[in-house]
Amino acid sequence: MFDSDFADRFVQLLRWRRDVRHFAPDAVPEQDMHELLTCAALAPSVGNSQPWRFVRLRSVTVRDALVAHVDEQNALAAERYQGQERYETYRKLKLHGLREAPELLAVFCDEKPEAGHGLGIATMPEALRYSCVTAIHTLWLTARLRGIGVGWVSILDPAAVRAMLDVPADWSLIALLCIGFPQDEFDTPELERQGWQLREPLLDRVFER
């Protein structure tokens, strides 16, 4: 079903997927947003529990509150590098596009989903959260092949963001995503280009037992 041409282009998709923080102002067509969410829901999930809950941000007030919260958390995170050579590099990094991205999407995990009937989570309840991550990653790749960029913001207090978005107590925040057309396209990570962290050799990651 999948020939070597598809396989080659799939690797290109992986190579060109980026975490995007610089967005053009163009709106994401509604049809694209629909396709992104539809594809995300094809992701694997433990017990077929489909525990992902997608919250599209529409309110300008909530966006402003999120920006203020993340900027505050980022200032706190920066302090961890004070006195280190990396401090100035850190402060120069643009770590989110929450202000500019035309679409913000918060992804939550329902920690007590009815679907799946508890299969596969007796000992690893975190498999529910991992299922949500596969949905996010599916959305990310689906976006990229349409020329749409995604940025994952993790410099935030998940409980605070949950409260801002007023979602059920059993939902935990997995990711806050910025979605929109990237200003530029690169095949190397921004953190690599900015000298923060290079890609490491695969051999350092593979072991045998």
- Start-to-end CA span in the chain (Å): 34
Name the region of 2 (left: φ>0; alpha: ψ -120 to 50; beta: rest): beta
Binds a second copy (CB under 8 A): choice among 98, 127, 143, 179: 127
Considering only 76, 82, 91, 186, the residue that binds a second copy (CB under 8 A) is 76
Burial of 140 (0-12, 13-18, 19+ CB in 10 A): buried
Which one of 30, 60, 83, 205 is in contact with a second copy (CB under 8 A)?
205
Q: How many beta carbons lie within 10 A of that of residue 143, not counting itself?
A: 27
- Interface with a second copy (CB under 8 A), residue from 28, 101, 174, 178: 174
Which 134-173 positions form the footprint of a second copy (CB under 8 A)?
134, 136-138, 140-142, 144-147, 152, 154-158, 165-167
Among 124, 170, 184, 195, indicate the residue that binds a second copy (CB under 8 A).
124
Dist CA 18 CA 127 (whole Å): 25
For a second copy, how many residues bind (rule: CB under 8 A)? Answer: 96
Tokens representing 152 are: 């994952």
**Which of 24/62 has CB closer to a second copy?**
62
Q: How far is the CB of 170 from a second copy (least distance, A)?
A: 14
Shortest Å distance, C-beta 25 to a second copy = 21
Is residue 9 near a second copy by the rule CB under 8 A?
A: yes
3-state SS, one letter per residue, for 147-201: CCEEEEECCCCHHHHHHHHCCCCCEEEEEEEEEECECCCCCCCHHHHCCCCCCCC
Taking the complex as a whole, how short is the minimal distance between the CB of residue 140 and a second copy, in angstroms? Answer: 7
Q: Which of residues 26-65 bind a second copy (CB under 8 A)?
A: 37-39, 41-44, 46-50, 52-59, 62
Spell out the residues 6+ positions from residue 29 whose beta carbon is closer than 8 angstroms to its own: none
Q: How far is the CB of 13 from a second copy (least distance, A)?
A: 7
Pick one of 26, 126, 170, 184: the residue that binds a second copy (CB under 8 A).
Answer: 126
Choose, by CB under 8 A, the member of 31, 88, 169, 197 that binds a second copy.
197
The phi and psi torsions of 165 (rounded to 5 degrees) equal: -95, -5
